[in-house]
Each structure stands twice: as C-alpha cells, then as structure tokens.
C-alpha cells in the first residue's frame, strides 16, 4: 500500500504566486530557494498562462533541478512550487511534487506539506472503486478526491476533499486562473500569505521566503481555512471552528528557519527562550557555551545570556556539506560527523563545556560530537537539549524513526548520558517549552512526540495484516537500498 520512510526528516516546503504582471516562475524559484531547508530530495514548479499548466520537477536541490532553465510560458500568471522530504512514498522522481492533473473541471496542480493519517485507507477505498494511482505519496488522494467530486466549483470540490482527509496538510493549489491555499484544522504546519510589489499574492510555508521576492507579509492562513486568490482578490472559506488547533512545537525547536515568524511567534525568539529555560532548569555551569551548528545556535546564545557564561564557536560546520550527504559505505558514514563538524581546540581544550543541541533522536550525533570534543581536550562536557526526550513517532509530516529506534523510548536520561559519553545531560521539560512560545496559546500546540497525546489518531494503523506486511516489506527494501 504505502511506504513510510523510517528516518528523522525535515518536511516539505510549499510556495505559490499569483501575479499577472510579474515573473511568477522566477519568484517561485527564489521562494523555493529560501525554503530549501524544509526539503532537499526533490523540487518542482508548475505554472500557467491561463490555458495550460506546465510542470518541471526532478530529484535534487532547487539549484540542481533548475540548473538549465526555469519552466517558461508566455504570459504566465500563476505558479506553485514544492521542495520535498519524503514522508510517505519513497524519495523518487515519480513522487516529486507538484502533482498535475486534468479532470472534468479543468486542470490543476497541487503541492503538499504534511502527512495524512488516513491516506492509506482512502487509497484502498478508491482503488477498490477502480481509481488508478500514479505515485505512492499520500498527497495523491487529494487530486482523486477533487476530481471525483460532483460539486460544480473547484472551491467546493476542494472543501469536499478536505472533509474526508485527516492529519497534516498545507496545500498550495493552482488552477488555470486561481491560486488556492489550504491549512488543516490543527494547523500542524505553517502557511502564510504575502503581497507582491505589484499587488499580486504569495503563499509560502514560511515568512522567510516572502522577503526574497520583496513581498510583504499579510497574515497566516488560519487553521481550517482555505484562501482563494484570483482576479477578484482574496476570498476566505473556513472549514473548521478553530477549536482543534495543535500546531507543531517542533517547527519552533528545529524545522523552521529562525528568521521566520509563524502564527505571530518569532522562531528566533522561541529558540532563544528555550536556551534561557535550559540554563535555569539544568543549573549547569561551566567555562563556555557552545552549540551544534546551525540548528542549536540560537538556543545556545539564549543559554549563554541567561547563565552569564560566554558563548563561543566550539564546533565549525563545513558549509559545503549538504544535508543530503550520501553515505553509501560504513567508512563514509563513520566519517560523516567528522566531515560535517570539527572542534575548535582553543575554545574547548581544558574547559568545562556546555554543549547545546536541539534534539537527540537515535543518539548518534551527540555521541560522536562528545567524542570529538573529548579528543580536542574538553575537560567536562555537559549536554543540554532544547527539546524534551522524543519518545513517540510523528504522523504529521516528520518521520521520526519507528519507536524502537528512538533512544528516549528505550533508555532513561541517565542511560542516554552514559551512551553518549557526556558528564551530564539535560532535556528541556514540556512545561519549560510551553513558556517559550509566549505569543501562542501553549494548549493549542502538538507535543505528541514527547507525550504520546496525539491530536489526530493514526487511522492508517487500522490497516489489516496483509497491508501491514506489504508496508513492512517496503520499509525493509527501502532501508536496504539506503545502506
Ligand atoms: O540523535 P540523532 O539521531 O543523531 O539526531 C539528532 C540530530 O539530528 C539533527 O541534526 P542533523 O544532523 O540531521 O542536521 P542539521 O542539524 O544540520 O540539520 C538534530 O539537529 C540533531 O543534531
Ligand atoms: N514532508 C512532507 O511534508 C511530505 C509531503 C508528502 N507526505 C510527501 O511525502 O510527499
Ligand atoms: S508529533 Fe512532534 S513533530 Fe509531529 S507535529 Fe506533533 S510536535 Fe510536531
Ligand atoms: Mg543537528
């Protein structure tokens, strides 16, 4: 049925531009560049001149996929784009987005960030009625549900489709004359609206990708809202009452760029606060605070500020190493952390070092870095982590490992501390984390990977044994291919 990809991943980025007078293809390309941190496996752009939707997509980074040229149409007025990290369906060219279809109502293209919790069940149902799927991504159920709907307008067709699917979905959809944004009722993933210099519209996963096109932030798409942008301006449709909001706290801890503002909360400010809370909760004192760059850096500066201990660059990241670094042999895998990060001996030698990172998933990164620091002469190493222990998988667009591979699911904090070889280890508490998003209602956040309280049940877990066996075989095959 579906292959779930068993790795800790980022998620996808989506973008869209409606502007009859600007270069929508280039603007989408630049927007995707600014969202590259959200997905580096494949990229794609779809655009229309009002008659025809063209798509160009492929495996790799935005710069690689569009190395030769951007998709071009004379008088193009709408474009959407996607950068992918596979969560359901392998990382293959066939699964790259946006998806484009022609159906009774016309043509549309669709790009998705998130992961559905009932896509396999919907797919099984649609397949039993004769629907033929072209990909193995959960996203494809949207296009079939929209195409099969008997409603007269595309807006109503989309609203009917979103009443059937559950889980995490931010969508950027284009028809020949409309740009449409949709955010699920929980608002798991971010999505915002901007205005271009010529008065056109932008949809973007994060605000950091508005600036690159000189677009001004207008507002976030609300959880349970669909926005439609066309020659009549912007129309809004609500399909939930706003009571089930559960935005992902991990966007603030790790996934989003620190210069983004999501739902009114600055990611940088949240991360800085996490560092301050860590300093108070851990009570750790030492000679120097260092970070695991880049994602641990903002929290480390917050720790340093609160504790009054200087921050220094104790680890340098090789800026030429992509996140998609391929690790085909054991030797290269072992070298990976050393290639990516190297210690600055003069900063750590003989010192009691406080090392701040955002998360421990399997424990491999922290263990290797602690060894690097010891070899560089660090006297003591105290590890502070700005997320609570990850004990449970995510079903909403981040594929944390299967539970047994999460080190915090099977080991206590003390056991993890000795596993990674640190002198002490502290994880931020969930209560502490809640204090760090002061612009938000902390009760309207998802913390399920730390506390097992899932805002939306994983209905696909109800698949029968045969389907699960197929799923598991595909997981194993995928893992073997990765080794
Ligand atoms: O416990 P582990 O399984 O090793 O995973 C945890 C690490 O993974 C992430 O970093 P990653 O190396 O993926 O990349 P980044 O921080 O450079 O984005 C995260 O920031 C942690 O450092
Ligand atoms: N990371 C994501 O948001 C992925 C979107 C979609 N589930 C896919 O696998 O393509
Ligand atoms: S389970 Fe964790 S990563 Fe997934 S949406 Fe909830 S907080 Fe975010
Ligand atoms: Mg990291």
Summarised one tens digit per residue, pLDDT across range 406-450 is 999 999 999 999 999 999 999 999 999 999 999 999 999 999 999
pLDDT of residue 325: 41
Cα 395 to Cα 456: distance, rounded to the nearest angstrom: 9
Cα distances (angstroms) measured from residue 126 to each of 109, 113, 143, 220: 20, 22, 12, 33
Query: How close is the Cα of 22 to the center of ligand 1, in Å?
Result: 38
| 358 marked ligand binding residue | yes
Cα 56 to Cα 298: distance, rounded to the nearest angstrom: 36
Share of residues in the chain with pLDDT > 90 (%): 80
Share of residues in the chain with pLDDT > 70 (%): 90
Q: How confident is the model at residue 462 (pLDDT cuts 50, 70, 90)?
A: confident
Report the DSSP beta bridge partners of residue 235.
Answer: 228
Which residue puts its alpha carbon closest to atom 14 of ligand 1? 323
Cα 29 to Cα 26: distance, rounded to the nearest angstrom: 5
Which ligand is located closest to the Cα atom of residue 113? Answer: 2
Looking from the CA of residue 248, the nearest atom of ligand 3 is: 8
Give the mean model confidence (pLDDT) for residues 463-477.
Answer: 59
* Average pLDDT value over all residues in the chain: 91
CA dihedral in degrees (148, 153, 157, 162; nearest 10)? 170
Query: How close is the Cα of 138 to the center of ligand 2, in Å?
Result: 8
**SS3 of the chain: helix, strand, coil, percent, to 5:** 35, 25, 40
| 170 marked ligand binding residue | no
Which residue puts its alpha carbon closest to atom 5 of ligand 3? 248
Task: Say yes or no to pLDDT of 228 above 90.
Answer: yes
Looking from the CA of residue 395, the nearest atom of ligand 3 is: 4
pLDDT of residue 471: 57
Work out the end-to-end distance of the chain between its first and last CA atoms, rounded to an integer number of angstroms.
23
Q: Which residues line ligand 2 (CB under 6 A)?
A: 11-12, 84-89, 112-115, 137-139, 397
Which residue puts its alpha carbon closest to atom 4 of ligand 1? 365
Residue of 84, 165, 256 best suited for mutating to test ligand 2, as the one with most atoms within 8 Å of CB:
84
| 208 marked ligand binding residue | no
Which ligand is located closest to the Cα atom of residue 117? Answer: 2
Q: Yes or no: say if 169 and 146 are a contact pair by the CB < 8 Å rule.
A: no
Q: What is the pLDDT of residues 230-286, one digit of tens each?
A: 999 999 999 999 899 999 999 999 999 999 999 999 999 999 999 999 999 999 999
More confident residue, 298 or 405: 298
Residue of 115, 189, 248, 253 best suited for mutating to test ligand 3, as the one with most atoms within 8 Å of CB:
248
Q: Which of 173-187, 310-324, 465-479 has the lowest mean pLDDT?
A: 465-479
Residue of 139, 168, 248 best suited for mutating to test ligand 2, as the one with most atoms within 8 Å of CB:
139
Q: Which of 25-29, 180-184, 227-231, 293-297 has the lowest mean pLDDT?
A: 293-297
The answer, yes or no, to whether ipTM is higher than 0.90 is yes
Element at 290 (helix H, strand E): strand 288-291
Q: Tell me whether residue 12 is one of the annotated catalytic residues.
A: yes
Q: How confident is the model at residue 5 (pLDDT cuts 50, 70, 90)?
A: very low
Task: Say yes or no to pLDDT of 8 above 60.
Answer: no
Give the mean model confidence (pLDDT) for residues 199-224.
Answer: 98
pLDDT of residue 480: 47
pLDDT of residue 482: 40
Q: Which residues line ligand 3 (CB under 6 A)?
A: 188, 248-250, 394, 396, 398, 446-449
pLDDT of residue 89: 82
């Amino acid at each position: 049925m579906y292959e779930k990809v068993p790795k800790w991943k980022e998620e996808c980025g989506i973008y869209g531009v409606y502007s009859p007078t600007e270069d929508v293809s280039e603007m989408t390309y630049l927007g995707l560049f600014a969202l590259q941190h959200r997905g580096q496996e494949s990229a794609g752009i779809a655009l229309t001149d009002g008659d025809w939707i063209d798509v160009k997509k492929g495996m790799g980074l935005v710069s690689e996929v569009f190395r030769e040229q951007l998709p071009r149409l004379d008088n193009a007025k709408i474009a959407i784009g996607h950068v992918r990290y596979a969560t359901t369906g392998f990382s293959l060219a066939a699964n790259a987005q946006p998806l484009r279809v022609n159906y009774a109502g016309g043509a549309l293209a669709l790009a998705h960030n998130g992961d559905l919790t009932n896509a396999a069940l919907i797919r099984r149902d649609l397949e039993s009625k004769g629907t033929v799927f072209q990909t193995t991504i959960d996203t494809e159920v949207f296009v079939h549900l929209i195409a099969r709907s008997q409603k007269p307008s595309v807006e109503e067709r989309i609203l009917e489709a979103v009443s059937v699917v559950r889980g995490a979905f931010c969508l950027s959809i284009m028809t020949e004359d409309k740009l449409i944004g949709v955010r699920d009722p929980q608002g798991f993933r971010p999505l915002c609206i901007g205005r271009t210099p010529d008065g056109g519209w932008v949809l973007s996963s994060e605000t950091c990708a508005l600036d690159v096109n000189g677009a001004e932030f207008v507002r976030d798409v609300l959880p349970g809202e669909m926005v439609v942008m066309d020659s009549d301006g912007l129309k809004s449709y609500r399909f939930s009452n706003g009571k089930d909001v559960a935005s992902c706290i991990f966007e603030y801890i790790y996934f989003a760029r620190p210069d983004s503002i999501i739902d009114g909360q600055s990611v940088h400010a949240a991360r800085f606060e996490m560092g301050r809370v860590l300093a108070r909760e851990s009570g750790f004192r030492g000679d120097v605070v260092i970070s695991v760059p880049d994602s641990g850096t903002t929290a480390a500066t917050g720790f340093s500020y609160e504790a009054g201990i200087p921050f220094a660059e104790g680890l340098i990241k090789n800026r030429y190493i992509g996140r998609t670094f391929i690790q085909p042999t054991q030797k290269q895998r072992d070298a990976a952390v050393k290639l990516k990060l190297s210690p600055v001996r003069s900063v750590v030698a003989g010192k009691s070092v406080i090392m701040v990172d955002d998360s421990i998933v399997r424990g491999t990164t922290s263990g290797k870095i602690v060894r690097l620091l010891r070899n560089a002469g660090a006297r003591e190493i105290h590890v502070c982590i700005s997320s609570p222990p990850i004990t449970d998988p995510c079903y909403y667009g981040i594929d944390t490992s299967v539970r047994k591979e999460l080190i915090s699911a099977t080991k206590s904090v003390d056991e993890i501390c000795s596993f990674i070889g640190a002198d002490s280890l502290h994880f931020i508490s969930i209560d502490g984390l809640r204090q760090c998003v002061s612009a938000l209602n902390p009760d309207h956040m998802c913390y399920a990977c730390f506390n097992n309280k899932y805002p939306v049940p994983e209905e696909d877990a109800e698949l029968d044994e045969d389907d699960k066996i197929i799923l598991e075989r595909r997981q194993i095959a995928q893992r073997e291919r990765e080794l």
